[in-house]
Amino acid sequence: QPVLTQSSSASASLGSSVKLTCTLSSGHSSYIIAWHQQQPGKAPRYLMKLEGSGSYNKGSGVPDRFSGSSSGADRYLTISNLQSEDEADYYCETWDSNTWVFGGGTKLTVL
Amino acid sequence: QVQMVESGGGVVQPGGSLRLSCEASGFTFSSYGMHWVRQAPGKGLEWVAFIRYDGSNKYHADFVKGRFTISRDNSKNTLYLQMNSLRAEDTAVYFCAKSGGGAALLQDYWGQGTLVTVSS
């Protein structure tokens, strides 16, 4: 089964950009992932599906400030022009052999 | 708009049972696979179970196999999770989620969740 590794925390200033990383375990570097956002006290929200090629497909209503990219086993979520409402937990997720796996999540603090 | 509303959560004693429901609207429920995902207090997301659009195949995480069963009633646009032999470690908010397209069937819409507390 694939393992997804995320940093536990990140921080960036209001109006700046931040790049969050999700790393796929060895042997799974080509896998598609999804990024989900969970604001404090709320349900998760699907942000995008991201392929190993770097191609991504965003969910309905996701602002243009959110983008994805890939490099090898790393999958990135970049948030530009950070807003206060971007302060949230961000989870990556993938799938293999009818099992779905989440990363541990990154808590983003907007300073 | 796509909406899922979970219900059925509550407090249950260890060893007890509970059935969660998730009523869906705003999309053709019978055309999409559905997931249950849970989140223990202060912890991350954990996938629990998936059922294909027609109920033909069901998959459960190892830690719930033999105890939890996912099912659906497409005539009622409703997803279920039957939870038996509940343990303290099953305490969590349980979310239902719609799967999107593509082979990976990742979630693209989430419900608001229902809290299950297993305690004596």
Cα B24 to Cα B52: distance, rounded to the nearest angstrom: 15
Percent of chain A with pLDDT over 90: 98
pLDDT score for B32:
95
pLDDT of amino acid A89: 98
B22 exposure class (CB count in 10 Å sphere: 0-12, 13-18, 19+): buried
Distance CA A93, CA A23 (A): 11
> Which chain B residue lies closest to A106 (C-alpha atoms)?
B44
pLDDT, one tens digit per residue, over B61-105 is 999 989 999 999 999 999 999 999 999 999 999 999 999 877 778
A98 touches chain B (CB under 8 A): yes
- Ramachandran area for residue A59 (φ above 0: left; ψ -120 to 50: alpha; else beta): beta
Q: B95 and A44 in contact by Cβ < 8 A?
A: yes
Contact across the interface for B45 and A34, Cβ inside 8 Å: no
pLDDT band at A102 (very low <50, low <70, confident <90, very high): very high
Residues of chain B with pLDDT > 90: what percent?
93
Residue A79, pLDDT score: 98
pLDDT digits (tens, 9 = 90+) for A7-43: 999 999 999 999 999 999 999 999 999 999 999 999 9
- Please indicate whether, in this complex, the C-beta atoms of B95 and A102 are within 8 angstroms of each other: no
In this complex, do A93 and B112 lie within 8 Å of one another by their Cβ atoms?
no
- What is the pLDDT, as a whole number, of residue B105? 87
The pLDDT value given to residue B92: 98
pLDDT score, position B101: 75
pLDDT of residue B67: 97
| pLDDT tens-place string over residues A44-79 | 999 999 999 999 999 999 999 999 999 999 999 999
The alpha carbons of chain B give a radius of gyration, in whole angstroms, of: 13
What is the chain A residue with the closest CA to B4? A43
Q: What confidence score (pLDDT) does residue B104 get?
A: 74
Average model confidence (pLDDT) across chain A: 97
